Amino acid sequence: MLDILYQDDALIAVNKPANLAVHRSKMVGNAEAFLIDLLREQLGDSMYLAHRLDRATSGVLLAARSKEVAAALGEQFMARAVHKQYLVVVRGWPEPAEGTIDYPLPGSRETGPRHEARTCYRRLATVEVPIALGRYPQQRYALLLAEPETGRFRQIRKHLAHLHHPVIGDCQHGRGDHNRLYKQHFGCHRMLLHAWRLRFAHPVTAAAMEIEAPLDAAFAELLEHFGWSTALPNP
């Protein structure tokens, strides 16, 4: 069963699990299950996606009960009227501790034209673990709050890799040696990127909405292990 965070006659917010494809596409390869199909089966109704999340990313995903509501929500995303907050664990300690990554990105085709892309980030907590890797006897990691102002394909992942602070568990843009370290020493087999909060206007009533998706067990246990559980900011 999918975790329904909010629902009414117009829209549904679901806490998307990591490693579940949202819908059929060439990008998801041999996926056997799709969130939109599972949601339709669970609620017994037609559903229309309002936006997307990468297969490996977890967190808040909005769907609508009609094409009209999906289009209205989509317009808010296109107009950058939706405030998005992600929790992400990266290699290293980004400096400065707070900043904006302004680096144009291509679409899903890497050889295509680049477009404006901006991501604000804030370092919430850091840790240094006594595990040797390569030429370093200890490894540094950080918990970030990422707030993308634009919505380019894999934007947060690509922007943090551009800073040389890749997302842990990212197989496409990350570091395989650090991904293996997390599997071996922390039992973590997912990408540590979570769509934590969405703020937007209800597409029918115009009421201010804020939806928060709790972390899954793997992500939450890692925060507890590193002593980061109290580092999460209040709304």
> Is 54 a residue of the active site?
yes
48-49 and 58-64 beta bridge pairing: antiparallel
**Per-residue buried b or exposed e for 60-73, using 16+ beta carbons within 10 Å of the residue's own CB:** bbbbbbbeebbebb
Which tokens belong to 112?
A: 């295509």
Phi, psi angle pair for 160, to nearest 5°: -70, -35
Residue that has been written with the tokens 């390569």 in this structure: 134
Among candidate residues 9, 37, 45, 54, the one labeled active-site is 54
How many whole angstroms from its chain centre is CA 136? 29
Determine the Cα–Cα distance for residues 132 and 181; give it in Å rounded to an integer: 10
Determine the Cα–Cα distance for residues 139 and 155; give it in Å rounded to an integer: 25
Nearest Cα to 158, choosing from 209, 100, 119, 132? 119
DSSP state for residue 27 in the 8-state scheme: G
Phi, psi angle pair for 172, to nearest 5°: -85, -40
Which tokens belong to 203?
A: 């597409």
Determine the Cα–Cα distance for residues 57 and 73; give it in Å rounded to an integer: 20
Catalytic residues: 54
